[in-house]
Amino acid sequence: MTEVFFENEVPISERFGDVYFSKEGGTEESAYVFFEGNRIAEKWKETNTTNNSGFTIGELGFGTGLNYFITLEKWKKEISPPTVSFFSLEKFPLESSTLKIMKNHFPEISTWEKGLLDSYEKALKDGGQNLRSRIWTWTTPHPSHRTQFHLHVYFSDVITTLGDWKEKIDAWYLDGFSPAKNPEMWTAEVFQKIKSLSKEGTSFATFTAAGFVRRNLESVGFRVEKQAGFGRKREMLVGGI
Ligand SMILES: C[S@@+](CC[C@H](N)C(=O)[O-])C[C@H]1O[C@@H](n2cnc3c(N)ncnc32)[C@H](O)[C@@H]1O
């Protein structure tokens, strides 16, 4: 478990000295950067649901689960979305007491309901000391359509987990802490692994526009574009293969 402290109900990692989500407009920023940056709503419309070909999202850094909750919320509002599998990974899982505070911070969306929190805690305990065997899954049926939203969180290091994943990904949410503070989430080795797990036409989006992140992405063959960042942030990166 990892240590956090709070400023205005926003969790900050002691280990990395960085916020889990933005202090201003956490939900809007997350939706803008990751959901819209990857054009997920358009891609869902293009995904053929008749042959059960689902849509897969890969996230680096599960943290508080905010990106998952926002994506799930958007999916529930679609009339006939495809089945979605949301794969995420987390080496330093947050304690339930921290996650409960999320619920107060974002009353407008459904986040850490009791059943979900119990299931998260159980998955962490059941895996024992071997981080690699701790995997948490949770399925939500669509409120009016026949499809489902599957969450899979691997509680292990980024490199180990990407090596274990078999599923090919349609859209990547690159959400480590800021690259200067958490460089191991932004290496060419990580990007080489995500490239090998990407479907043709995959996309990525990230809040950062750091030069070494762009260069590492390009060095393994991703097309990278700069886009206006959220609010006062000048730039962010999007792209694909
Ligand atoms: C900015 S936070 C993610 C925020 C998250 N997406 C959310 O919605 O709350 C970055 C996350 O990456 C995790 N992380 C950092 N280094 C890691 C590593 N080497 N392997 C796996 N996870 C790592 C951190 O523990 C943290 O939870």
Residue 206 has which token pair? 């990230």
| 89 Cβ inside 6 Å of ligand 1 | yes
Distances (CA, A) of 200 to 82, 120, 162, 203: 18, 32, 18, 9
Residue 1 has which token pair? 């478990």
| 149 Cβ inside 6 Å of ligand 1 | no
User: Which pLDDT score is estimated for 217?
Assistant: 98
Q: Which has the closest alpha carbon to 162: 188, 182, 180?
A: 188
| 58 Cβ inside 6 Å of ligand 1 | no
Paired strand residues for 149: 84, 140
User: Which pLDDT score is estimated for 131?
Assistant: 67
Domains and CATH numbers, the chain: 4-240 (3.40.50.150)
In a structure prediction context, what are the per-residue pLDDT tens digits for the chain, which is 241 residues long?
Answer: 568 998 887 899 999 999 999 877 789 999 999 999 999 999 999 886 555 579 999 999 999 999 999 999 999 999 999 999 999 999 999 999 899 888 778 888 899 999 999 999 999 888 766 767 789 999 999 999 999 999 999 999 999 999 999 999 999 999 999 999 999 999 999 999 999 999 999 999 999 999 999 999 999 999 999 999 998 889 999 999 9
User: Which pLDDT score is estimated for 49?
Assistant: 59
Contacts of 17 (CB under 8 A, 6+ apart): 181
**End-to-end Cα spacing for the chain:** 35
User: Which pLDDT score is estimated for 25?
Assistant: 73
Q: DSSP string covering 18-53, please?
A: EESS-SS-HHHHHIIIIIITTTHHHHHHHS-TTTT-
Distances (CA, A) of 202 to 43, 128, 133, 153: 10, 34, 28, 20
Q: Would you call 228 helix, strand, or coil by DSSP? A: strand
- Phi and psi at residue 56, in whole multiples of 5°? -120, 135
| 136 Cβ inside 6 Å of ligand 1 | no
The Å distance, Cα 79 to ligand 1 centre, comes to 32
The Cα–Cα gap between 205 and 173 comes to 6
Which burial class, exposed, middle or buried, applies to 138 when counting CB atoms under 10 A from its CB (0-12, 13-18, 19+)? middle
| 185 Cβ inside 6 Å of ligand 1 | yes
The Å distance, Cα 90 to ligand 1 centre, comes to 6
Calculate the CA dihedral of residues 76, 232, 216, 154 and round it to 10 degrees: -30
Q: Which has the closest alpha carbon to 120: 90, 144, 96?
A: 96
